[in-house]
């Protein structure tokens, strides 16, 4: 199987030894504690599950600035975005041991125990520098920029021992998986070549066919459909609705035992190219050999060029930094001429009118009225699940 990023074996920060974990839970109740923000909590969950291998905890300021600038830590480890605990909390001392409490679960239970190596003040100039490098924008209307610049100016660096996976394991027991679990499942299947498909949205016909295309072109044993389960921007479809629609699509339109439907516990960054590289890093940690990167991957609004998330792998990711390979996809749509879904680049003789193209707004309006989009755009069984959801929220409005 493909090696994890940066090490020969995966190094998850979750404490798997039950006796040791119970002792840490008891100890944590006696430790000074801070309440994490959702971004830092999501980083802890991802560190716990082995997704951010080989990191041993939150980065210090020097590493965060270096990663933001050139995608390498001070010691030379390739990593595309800073993994930090930026906070507004004060009073934490370097060398201390603290409990990190979960902002996303009622009662704020302890999520992890942290040995604090450094407590550093981050200037506004440094926050701005990192935001500009990560997001390619300083526009406060960009959801990722707005979140990052509002986290706080105190950076807590140090190692973590993660005690649970927040709400993800309880709210999504059939879908949430750690990188450790995905690796194990790939090994159990005996799959050698696996392509990952990243999604924060429901999958329409074009996405479905894109997975089929990638599997055929690459000769893979299977596809990992890997959905984000964490915080999104307002208006995005909730994870449980996406999950239901994807499961129905796979059940009806994929051969048995060719798809793993899983999810990961992270808040969307909307960082476009940089987030695409992060997606590649943690899919390699999952055991995937390929990642589909399509048009405007991990983007939002008009902040990124349509294929910036592909060109970053050619222009900024050093050769050999990743073992995982990128499957570059074009915009995919149903061709009325060919009566099948194609990548637009493969149909140079087509005009726009030759494709079935619908805007997200148009699709939402149709679904909200109980009108199914054409089957060339969305499978009717998937459209039914989405229509029921949109009508339920429209009815509450």
Q: What per-residue confidence (pLDDT) applies to 395?
A: 59
Q: What is the pLDDT of residue 397?
A: 45
- CATH number (1.10.10.10, 1.20.1260.10, 3.10.400.10, 3.30.70.240) of 18-169 reads 3.10.400.10
The Cα–Cα gap between 55 and 70 comes to 17
Residues with Cβ within 8 Å of 230's Cβ and at least 6 positions away in sequence, in order, are 38, 42, 168, 264, 265, 266, 267, 268
Q: What is the pLDDT of residue 172?
A: 93
- Cα–Cα nearest to 387, from 367, 369, 372, 373: 367
Catalytic residues: 200-201
Class at the top of the CATH hierarchy for domain 174-396: alpha beta
Q: For the segment 221-254, what is each residue's pLDDT rounded down to a tens digit?
A: 999 999 999 887 777 788 889 999 999 999 999 9
pLDDT at 232: 76
Q: Are strands 154-162 and 57-58 parallel, antiparallel or unpaired?
A: antiparallel
Strand (E) positions, 11-109? 33-35, 57-58, 86-87, 97-101
pTM: 0.95
Of 296, 290, 302, the C-alpha closest to 275 is 296
Token pair in block for residue 237: 């479809």
pLDDT tens series, the chain, 397 aa: 999 999 999 999 999 999 999 999 999 999 999 999 999 999 999 999 999 999 999 999 999 999 999 999 999 999 999 999 999 998 999 999 999 999 999 999 999 999 999 999 999 999 999 999 999 999 999 999 999 999 999 999 999 999 999 999 999 999 999 999 999 999 999 999 999 999 988 899 999 999 999 999 999 999 999 999 988 777 778 888 999 999 999 999 999 999 999 999 999 999 999 999 999 999 999 999 999 999 899 999 999 999 999 999 999 999 999 999 999 999 899 999 999 999 999 999 999 999 998 887 788 888 888 888 999 999 999 999 999 998 887 655 4
By the 10 Å C-beta count (0-12 exposed, 13-18 middle, 19+ buried), 8 is classed as exposed
Integer CA distances (angstroms), 40 to 45, 86, 214, 276, in order: 9, 7, 34, 19
Rounded Cα–Cα distance for residues 362 and 350 (Å): 23
Strands 355-356 and 332-335: antiparallel
Q: How many CB atoms lie within 10 A of CB 176?
A: 23
pLDDT digits (tens, 9 = 90+) for 201-225: 889 999 999 999 999 999 999 999 9
Contact at 8 Å (CB) between 78 and 322?
yes
| Cα torsion 44, 45, 46, 49: sign | positive
How high is the pLDDT of residue 3?
A: 97
Same CATH fold assignment for domains 18-169 and 174-396: no
Write down the domain spans for the chain. Answer: 18-169, 174-396
Among 107, 105, 90, which Cα is nearest to 34's?
90
pLDDT at 396: 53
Please tell me the predicted confidence (pLDDT) of residue 365.
86
In DSSP terms, 339 is beta-bridged to none
Cis peptide before 54 (omega within 30 of 0): yes
């Amino acid at each position: 199987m493909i090696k994890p990023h940066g090490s020969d074996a995966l190094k998850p920060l979750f404490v798997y030894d039950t006796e040791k974990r119970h002792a840490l839970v008891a100890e944590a109740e006696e430790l000074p504690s801070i309440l994490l923000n959702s971004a830092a909590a999501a980083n802890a969950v991802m560190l716990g599950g082995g997704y951010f291998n080989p990191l041993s905890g939150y980065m210090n300021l020097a590493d965060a600035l270096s990663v933001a600038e050139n995608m390498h830590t001070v010691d030379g480890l390739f990593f595309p975005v800073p993994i930090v605990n930026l906070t507004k909390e004060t009073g934490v001392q370097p060398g201390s041991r603290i409990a990190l409490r979960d902002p996303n679960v009622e009662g704020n239970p302890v999520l992890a125990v942290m040995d604090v190596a450094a407590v550093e003040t981050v200037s506004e100039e440094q926050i701005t520098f990192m935001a500009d490098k990560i997001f390619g924008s300083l526009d406060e209307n960009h959801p990722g920029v707005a979140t990052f610049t509002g986290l706080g100016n105190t950076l807590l660096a140090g190692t973590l021992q993660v005690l649970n996976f927040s709400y993800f394991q309880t709210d999504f027991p059939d879908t949430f998986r750690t990188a450790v679990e995905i690796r194990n499942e790939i090994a159990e299947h005996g799959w050698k070549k696996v392509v990952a498909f990243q999604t924060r949205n429901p999958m329409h016909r074009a996405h479905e066919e894109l997975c089929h295309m990638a599997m055929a072109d690459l000769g893979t044993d299977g596809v990992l459909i890997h959905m984000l389960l964490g915080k999104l921007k307002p208006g995005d479809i909730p994870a449980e609705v996406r999950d239901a629609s994807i499961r129905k699509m796979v059940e009806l339109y994929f051969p048995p035992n060719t798809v793993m439907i899983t999810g990961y516990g992270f808040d969307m960054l909307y960082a476009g190219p940089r987030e695409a590289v992060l997606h590649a890093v943690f899919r390699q940690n999952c055991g995937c050999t390929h990642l589909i990167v399509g048009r405007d991957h991990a983007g939002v609004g008009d902040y990124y060029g349509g294929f910036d998330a592909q060109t970053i792998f050619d222009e900024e990711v050093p050769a050999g930094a990743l073992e995982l390979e990128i499957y570059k996809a074009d915009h995919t749509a149903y061709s009325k001429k060919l009566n099948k879904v194609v990548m637009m680049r493969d149909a140079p003789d087509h005009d726009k009118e030759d494709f079935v193209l619908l805007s997200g707004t148009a699709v939402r309006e149709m679904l909200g009225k109980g009108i199914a989009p054409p089957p060339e755009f969305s499978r009717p069984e998937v459209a039914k699940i989405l229509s029921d959801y949109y009508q339920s929220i429209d009815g509450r409005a």
